[in-house]
């Protein structure tokens, strides 16, 4: 049997973030809409040609977006928030829904399953679904004009509705409302020549899948009746699916993940659950991590799968959206480079496997096999760790710690603070780049950072914040910064991936044992504290987030790597405490993001996450106040684990969820300090005093006032200086107003 290769999606960012730079230039009025369109069209075309040149039998189109593919689907079907209706459906509307504007808040931003990508939540209130501008058809025709053999990609109706919120219709009725619209779009694609259409249904690998089977069957039978199911390939990824159920649906093919499925998908196929008359799209190359594949093992898997399918494609386990574009231009030692594979290199691996299996052409296969073997023989792990010697519980209960901390800090009612970072202005980024490229001296850069810290300490004092931060001007990213300073991490030059919208991060790569060897944050934090009598928070990233926002090694258990990082962070926590820092924040925004999709794995994951956080933070004295921070909502299912962290204060994003998180506190007696983010930092709009006051009062309905803090919902590095000053002034004024009302009432 001849196998074929395909891809599920390619990174939008561009090798050197051309996508991000163009979009942000448009937002900042530096380029016109025509210039934006031309730049993105060129990038899209180059992505198509690059994939075609890697000998793919079919190249995806529809994966390229101006912001987010779920938001694209919302606009395609006119699922537009009420506050943004009665406008032309164009790119400016898309950007306003995603980012908010001066008049309206943005739609909620939520993580995409258990990845580090975030999508814009569709809102069904008062919508009139219809097909708008069919950009997917345009993308497909664009690929045809380039002689690229392409297949359209669209999010399926079950997943789209499952990721939505609002509206009076039932889940099933929402799907039924969309079905004729999907049919219209799918028919247009088939008429244009599409022989395969990838319809993504990752919701069908979650625990929710079983209860969705009836409506899933109804939907795909409707597609069959409309004569469009013949081209459909249901793609699942990130976990195991019910192979027998999906194989019975009247579609052309089925895509399965054979990397992150815990072995269950292969087991089902070996049990005979796959209908071999259908096309099998086998996700055998890890689409979410950067390690080179064991081509020998992958070749054996292909040979095994060939026994159960008469028509077999091999592809990455998911869209390559989650990995950097290419190793090209990276200056890495060969012993490390041998073990790495970014998006482009993963396509090379697919081609090498296809050539080896189909034509017995093993030149590329043999080279990849040799590189993989060399990397595996490197001795990157040989350290010994004494995990048991570090305390994993605070010395006293929170009720006792709270008293001595208040005596030391003397904070007012409803204390105000920020999450940590302040604007990374063009000048800040330029100075850091000049320093890294040795265009300015270490002393000149250090002086610049100190000047920024001093300026922002003064700004915070003028605004009236109660607990200050140094601003993190020396940091490029909250994880990459620590990856540059801890042993066992590799930081790349162009290893960018999309987090949300134009937000790009460069995850470090954990290739060896992690070790703290020198202070990481002491100089800047101690300097900031020397400038003010108010407490300045030490700002660290926690072990769970560092692991979840890095490309982790896969040769030892994740929990072992996590605890290694925890010991390193513990060293820094103790160093800050010794230097006189009274408040230390250890952020864990990614704790929820790493939660496995299947509930059967939740308890183990959360227990290990809580243990690692406490390993990093519990060695301090009672007087030292430990803060943490989480963002991107959907915390209800882990609210008890959040409490178990035993942080003295936690700040949680709630503004984009429009207060939904407050309901989660009805099920728990939360008796630790907490700040529910009272305004959305992802939007350029300035909140009003009434909005912030309402948010605080809503939180006080469930949280004891003596535990309540007032803060933005996330760090402020992406905002402009004038926006930050204005918004924080409103925040402080709102807190002061409520304090005064409380005094007058009493």
Q: Which residues pair with 489 in a beta bridge?
A: 510
Map out the domains of the chain as residue ranges. 3-379, 398-745
pLDDT digits (tens, 9 = 90+) for 144-199: 999 999 999 999 999 999 999 999 999 999 999 999 999 999 999 999 999 999 99
pLDDT digits (tens, 9 = 90+) for 101-120: 988 989 998 889 999 899 99
Decide: helix, strand or coil at residue 581: coil
Q: Which residues does the annotation place in the binding site for L-methionine?
A: 419-421, 472, 587
Decide: helix, strand or coil at residue 21: helix
Percent of the chain past pLDDT 70, that is, above it, reads 97
pLDDT digits (tens, 9 = 90+) for 438-488: 999 999 999 999 999 999 999 999 999 999 999 999 998 889 999 999 999
End-to-end CA distance of the chain: 82
In this predicted structure, the answer to whether residue 386 has a pLDDT above a threshold of 90 is: no
pLDDT digits (tens, 9 = 90+) for 562-621: 999 999 999 999 999 999 999 999 999 888 888 899 999 999 999 999 999 999 999 999
The region of weakest confidence among 147-151, 195-199, 380-384, 526-530 is: 380-384
State the maximum Cα–Cα separation within the chain, in Å, rounded to a whole number.
85
Decide: helix, strand or coil at residue 283: strand
Averaged pLDDT of the chain: 94
Percent of the chain past pLDDT 90, that is, above it, reads 85
The whole-number pLDDT of residue 669 equals 78
- Where residue 218 falls among pLDDT bands split at 50, 70, 90? very high
Fold of 3-379: TIM Barrel (3.20.20)
- Where residue 742 falls among pLDDT bands split at 50, 70, 90? confident
Mean pLDDT, rounded, for 652-668: 65
Of 66, 118, 18, 94, whose CA–CA distance to 634 is shortest?
A: 118
Active-site residues, by number, are 682
Rounded to whole angstroms, the Cα distance separating 105 from 684 reads: 10
Q: At a CB cut-off of 8 Å and minimum separation 6, what does 744 contact?
A: none
> In the chain, how many H helices and how many E strands?
25, 20
In this predicted structure, the answer to whether residue 634 has a pLDDT above a threshold of 70 is: no
Taking the CA atoms of residue 357, residue 362, residue 367 and residue 372 in that order, the dihedral angle to the nearest 10 degrees is 30
Q: Using an 8 Å Cβ cutoff, are 491 and 502 in contact?
A: no
The whole-number pLDDT of residue 661 equals 60
Residue 94 has a CB neighbour count (10 Å cut-off) of 21
Give CA angle at 100 (94, 104), nearest 5°. 115
The whole-number pLDDT of residue 703 equals 86
Query: Which carries the bigger pLDDT value, residue 682 or residue 25?
Result: 25
Rounded to whole angstroms, the Cα distance separating 564 from 571 reads: 11
The whole-number pLDDT of residue 477 equals 86
Q: Using an 8 Å Cβ cutoff, are 57 and 6 in contact?
A: yes
Q: Which residues does the annotation place in the binding site for Zn(2+)?
A: 629, 631, 640, 644, 653, 714
Q: Which residues does the annotation place in the binding site?
A: 17-20, 111, 116, 419-421, 472, 549, 587, 593, 629, 631, 640, 644, 653, 714
Mean pLDDT, rounded, for 696-724: 91
Q: Which residues does the annotation place in the binding site for L-homocysteine?
A: 419-421, 472, 587
* Burial of 262 from C-beta contacts in 10 A (0-12 / 13-18 / 19+): middle
- Where residue 698 falls among pLDDT bands split at 50, 70, 90? confident
In this predicted structure, the answer to whether residue 380 has a pLDDT above a threshold of 80 is: no
Fold of 398-745: TIM Barrel (3.20.20)
DSSP annotation of 625: E
Give the dihedral sign, CA 429/23/652/746.
positive
């Amino acid at each position: 049997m001849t196998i074929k290769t395909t891809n599920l999606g390619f990174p939008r960012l561009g090798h050197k973030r051309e996508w991000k730079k163009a979009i942000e230039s448009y937002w900042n009025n530096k380029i016109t809409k025509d210039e934006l369109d031309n730049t993105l069209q060129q990038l899209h075309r180059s992505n198509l040609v690059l994939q075609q040149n890697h000998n793919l039998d079919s190249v995806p189109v529809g994966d390229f977006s101006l912001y987010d593919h779920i938001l694209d689907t919302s606009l395609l079907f006119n699922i537009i928030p009420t506050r943004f209706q009665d406008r032309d459906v164009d790119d400016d509307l898309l950007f306003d829904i995603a980012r908010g504007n001066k008049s309206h808040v943005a739609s909620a931003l939520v993580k995409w399953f258990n990845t580090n990508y975030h999508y814009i939540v569709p809102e069904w209130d008062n919508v009139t679904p219809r097909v708008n501008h069919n950009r997917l058809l345009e993308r497909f025709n664009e690929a045809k004009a380039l002689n690229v053999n392409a297949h359209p990609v669209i999010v399926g109706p079950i997943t789209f509705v499952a990721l939505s919120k609002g509206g009076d219709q039932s889940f099933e009725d929402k799907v039924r409302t969309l079905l004729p619209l999907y049919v219209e779009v799918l028919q247009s694609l088939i008429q244009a020549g599409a022989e395969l259409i990838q319809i993504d249904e990752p919701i069908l690998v979650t625990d929710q899948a079983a209860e969705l089977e009836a409506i899933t069957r109804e939907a795909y039978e409707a597609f069959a009746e409309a004569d469009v199911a013949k081209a459909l390939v249901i793609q699942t990824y990130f976990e195991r699916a019910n192979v027998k159920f999906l194989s019975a649906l009247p579609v052309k093919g089925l895509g399965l993940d054979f990397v992150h499925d815990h072995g269950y998908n292969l087991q089902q196929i070996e049990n005979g659950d796959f209908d071999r008359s259908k096309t099998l799209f086998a996700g055998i190359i890890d689409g979410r991590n950067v390690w080179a594949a064991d081509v020998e093992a992958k070749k054996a898997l292909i040979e095994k799968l060939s026994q159960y399918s008469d028509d077999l494609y091999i592809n990455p386990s998911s869209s390559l959206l989650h990995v950097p574009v290419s190793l090209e231009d990276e200056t890495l030692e060969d012993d490390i480079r041998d073990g790495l594979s970014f998006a482009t290199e993963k396509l090379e691996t697919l081609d090498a496997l296809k050539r080896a299996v189909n034509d017995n052409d093993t030149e590329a296969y043999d080279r990849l096999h040799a590189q993989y073997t060399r990397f595996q023989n490197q001795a990157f792990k040989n350290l010994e760790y004494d995990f048991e010697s570090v305390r994993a519980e605070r010395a006293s209960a929170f009720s006792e710690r709270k008293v001595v901390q208040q005596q030391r800090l003397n904070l007012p009612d409803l204390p105000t603070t920020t999450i940590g970072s302040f604007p990374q202005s063009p000048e800040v980024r330029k100075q850091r780049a000049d320093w890294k490229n040795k265009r300015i001296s270490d002393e000149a850069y250090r002086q610049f950072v100190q000047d920024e810290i001093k300026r922002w300490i003064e700004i915070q004092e003028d605004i009236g914040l109660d607990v200050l931060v140094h601003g993190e001007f020396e940091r490029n990213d909250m994880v990459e910064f620590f990856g540059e300073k801890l042993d066992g991490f590799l930081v790349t030059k162009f290893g960018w991936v999309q987090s949300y919208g134009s937000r790009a991060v460069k995850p470090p790569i954990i290739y060896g044992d992690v070790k703290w060897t020198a202070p990481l944050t002491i100089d800047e934090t101690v300097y900031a504290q020397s400038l003010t009598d108010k407490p300045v928070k030490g700002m660290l990233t926690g072990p769970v987030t560092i692991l979840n926002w890095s490309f982790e090694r896969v040769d030892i258990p994740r929990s072992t790597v996590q605890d290694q990082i925890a010991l390193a962070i513990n060293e820094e926590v103790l160093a800050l405490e010794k230097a006189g820092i009274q408040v230390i924040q250890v952020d864990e925004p990614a704790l929820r993001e790493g939660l496995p999709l299947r509930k059967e794995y939740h308890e183990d994951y959360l227990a290990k996450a809580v243990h690692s956080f406490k390993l990093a933070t519990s060695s301090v004295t009672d007087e030292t106040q430990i803060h943490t921070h989480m963002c991107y909502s959907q915390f209800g299912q882990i609210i008890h684990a959040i409490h178990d962290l035993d942080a003295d204060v936690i700040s949680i994003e709630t503004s984009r969820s429009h207060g939904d998180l407050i309901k989660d506190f009805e099920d728990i007696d939360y008796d630790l300090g907490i700040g529910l983010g009272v305004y959305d930092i992802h939007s350029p709009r300035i909140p009003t005093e009434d909005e912030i006051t309402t948010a605080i009062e809503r939180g006080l309905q469930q949280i004891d006032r003596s535990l309540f803090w007032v803060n933005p919902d996330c760090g402020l590095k992406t905002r402009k200086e004038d926006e930050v000053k204005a918004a924080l002034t409103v925040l402080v004024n709102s807190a002061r107003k409520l304090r005064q009302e409380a005094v007058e009432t009493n």
